[in-house]
Structure 1
Amino acid sequence: MAKSVTKRSEVEIVSQLAVSGERMIERLRRKSFLPERRKELHLRFGIAEVAAMLGCSTNRIRQAEEDGRLPSPAFDEAGRRLGYDVAAMLRMREVLGASPRRADGDEPAIIAVQNFKGGVGKSTVTTHLAHYLAIQGYRVLVVDCDSQATTTTLFGFNPHFDVERDQTLYPYLSIDPTQADLLYAVQPTPWPNVDLIPSCLELFDVEYELAAAGSDGQNVLAARFRKLKQGLRDLARSYDVVILDPPPALGTISLAVMQAANALIVPLAATTPDFCSTVQFLSMMDQVLAQLEQAGISVDYGFVRLLCSRHDTSNPSESMVIRIMEEAFGASLLPVAVLDSAEISHASLRMMTVFELNKPIGTARTHKRCKQNLEEALGQVEQLLRRGWHRAHPALEDLADVA
């Protein structure tokens, strides 16, 4: 008798832990996003930094400000420039002809950041890639397809309080859909050129519904696969890049994402378990893609690359795993790994990416090293995109070369 009482009380603890955890998330959010509890972007770039990103001289920027093509810069009381925010930099790209946007005839990139193993940095790669591309001037849509909603949280939304099921993919993918396209779900973010389709726990209802579809289940699944692909392609016309963050499991939504994408990035950490599980993922994916083809669902990728998403260079065992990955995957493994850094962890604690930090959280040296590494690692993906549009930078071609 005593055993059953103990069992019930332990089960009740699960609910208590969930409530307590949700309260803590809200406290962290309030602390991070004061005063209005909404995430804001406070990034400022100096004129030399902006000139380097645009590939022009500072004199060209000053000249455009003097002749009225660009607004006059703001100054502080000491007469120093306050710097340019992201919106100002995007305008500068347009005026000075330095926008990297795809041409009208170029196909938008729809990238799935996918691995069936959790803890490989999938959401970290997704959000940092989105913000990196935003700084470069691309129009980006991020679609959080994971009911755990980590990416949604990193964009400043609390999935427990701010996001309802009808704001996710659910009304579009459910058995009884209430939406004919995905425009209803697109939310602005603090970044002027990045939008988000958020997620929340109730998105998982799609998995339940489709699993219970009965004898006609295969036809329903195939219809949903085609529907997500079409919906994303329709939305992608307004963007350069769409980044999909699917669940870390082989489920209905993951399969739908797999066939809706036209490019694939597989993140994995530099550990033996991650390497082994990723090999299993690739093997399983190979089988699934073959089955999709047999079912008449076409899948085609402009590129498939693996990205080491976490590597501690001071750890000899991880360096050995990197060498194993290089031998196994060849040129399909992007050569520059994302290095393990306290700055990424510090930013995540504040529900931010390193690219959103206006100043270092740790030491200036750590921040600079981390940001440079992220720019180099994610720049490899940018080169793959640009090469698909036949505009890759010749000096960086080798970073994205095909085996």
Structure 2
Amino acid sequence: MREALKDAKVSHETVVRSRTERRDAEWPRPDRCRVITIANQKGGVGKTTTSVNLAASLAMHGAKVLVVDLDPQGNASTALGVEHHADVPSIYDVLIEDLPLQEIVVSAPDIPNLHCAPANLNLAGAEIELVSKVARESRLRRAMDRYDTEQFDYVLIDCPPSLGLLTVNALVGGNELLIPIQCEYYALEGLGQLIRTVDLVKAHLNPGLNVSTILLTMYDARTRLAAQVAEDVRNHFGDVVLNTVIPRSVRVSEAPSYGQSVMTYDPGSSGALAYSEAASEMAFRGAPE
């Protein structure tokens, strides 16, 4: 029994040490820009938190990153410390007024290599205004095609909690889809609708879109439910699920109120370490073939 426990401890220490070494090592940069849409029409699953903290982690390890905030609430812009009041040019002007994307992209103040295309409340009306626009599902893609996205290693698109035209624009604009799933009851409910939407987008608008990453969020190791949900998700989605899970963390929730990601607010917290590990895993896995 003692030998088994000793072996288990050694194995765990080896895993922790290898993860730490990988996190501290220089991360590989992709051969070309990875455009990753972060979507789940279910609210409160950690889309914005994931967008901001993965972006910050990647930027802190040398990657050039752009966050495109497509949520009218503008929470990603807030968390990155970027101004996004009604008078600031935003992604709304790009989608509706055809303003060039380079005219709204700004640097995040706290982290070199990190940039943001901000959103403001004007975006709340964009769903209705887009209906009458030509190529309404491809407005973001067209704007990105006219912009030199290859100056970045990653473009992360943060979506609103819906499957409306803003999210469809994000799906058409991305090459990869990252789905955050919270480790709670009903976690998989509604995902079927998202996957059907992805299939429709692939069939008619963006055949290159791949569900490349599933990230388990709000994991509470004290509950059996969280472990069961994690197991169900891994059984359902297989290898696209990251090994890293994001724990519930007060620090992660507090950081945006200070205009920061948790990576700068409390880099030693469990949430910051988990997001850094998740970003490292994504970087080392690379883009899907």
TM over 0.5: yes
Other-structure match for 2:17: none
- How far the C-alpha of 1:278 sits from its partner, in A, is 2.3
Q: What CA distance in whole angstroms lies between the structure 2 residues aligned with 1:178 and 1:371? A: 37
Q: What CA distance in whole angstroms lies between the structure 1 residues aligned with 2:149 and 2:69? A: 15
- How far the C-alpha of 1:99 sits from its partner, in A, is 8.0
- How far the C-alpha of 1:240 sits from its partner, in A, is 0.9
Other-structure match for 1:254: 167
Identity of matched residues, %: 26
Q: Please report the RMSD computed on the Cα atoms of aligned residues, expressed in angstroms.
A: 2.5
Q: Specify every segment of 5 or more residues in structure 1 that has no aligned partner in the other structure, as ranges.
A: 1-50, 56-97, 361-366, 389-401
Other-structure match for 1:374: 275
Other-structure match for 1:199: 119
Other-structure match for 2:8: none
Superposed counterparts of 1:46-195, under 5 Å: 55=25, 100-102=28-30, 106-157=31-82, 159=84, 162-164=85-87, 167-174=89-96, 177-179=97-99, 181-190=100-109, 191-195=111-115
- How far the C-alpha of 1:303 sits from its partner, in A, is 5.2
Structure 2 CA distance for partners of 1:148 and 1:323, relative to 1, 3 Å:
same
Structure 2 CA distance for partners of 1:173 and 1:368, relative to 1, 3 Å:
closer
Is 1:100–1:136's contact at 8 Å kept on the other side of the alignment?
no
Q: Specify every segment of 5 or more residues in structure 2 that has no aligned partner in the other structure, as ranges.
A: 1-20
- How far the C-alpha of 1:253 sits from its partner, in A, is 1.4
Greater relative contact order (Cα < 8 A, sep 6+): 2
Give the AA of the match of 2:108.
T
Determine whether 1:311 maps to 2:219.
yes
Equivalenced residues, count:
267
Is 1:145–1:253's contact at 8 Å kept on the other side of the alignment?
yes
Q: What CA distance in whole angstroms lies between the structure 1 residues aligned with 2:151 and 2:210? A: 19
Give the AA of the match of 1:121.
G
Is 1:260–1:299's contact at 8 Å kept on the other side of the alignment?
no
Q: What CA distance in whole angstroms lies between the structure 2 residues aligned with 1:52 and 1:329? A: 25
More strand per residue: 1 or 2? 2
Give the AA of the match of 2:63.
Y
- How far the C-alpha of 1:305 sits from its partner, in A, is 1.7
The TM-score normalised by the length of structure 2 is: 0.83
Q: What CA distance in whole angstroms lies between the structure 1 residues aligned with 2:112 and 2:81? A: 14
Q: Greater CA radius of gyration, 1 or 2?
A: 1
Is 1:268–1:278's contact at 8 Å kept on the other side of the alignment?
no
Give the AA of the match of 1:187.
V
The TM-score normalised by the length of structure 1 is: 0.61
- How far the C-alpha of 1:346 sits from its partner, in A, is 3.0
Structure 2 CA distance for partners of 1:202 and 1:336, relative to 1, 3 Å:
same
Picking from 331, 349, 353, the partner of 2:261 is 353
- How far the C-alpha of 1:282 sits from its partner, in A, is 1.8
Residue-by-residue CA offset, 1:223-277 (whole Å, 9 max, x unaligned): 2433421322433121111110121111111111101101110001011222212
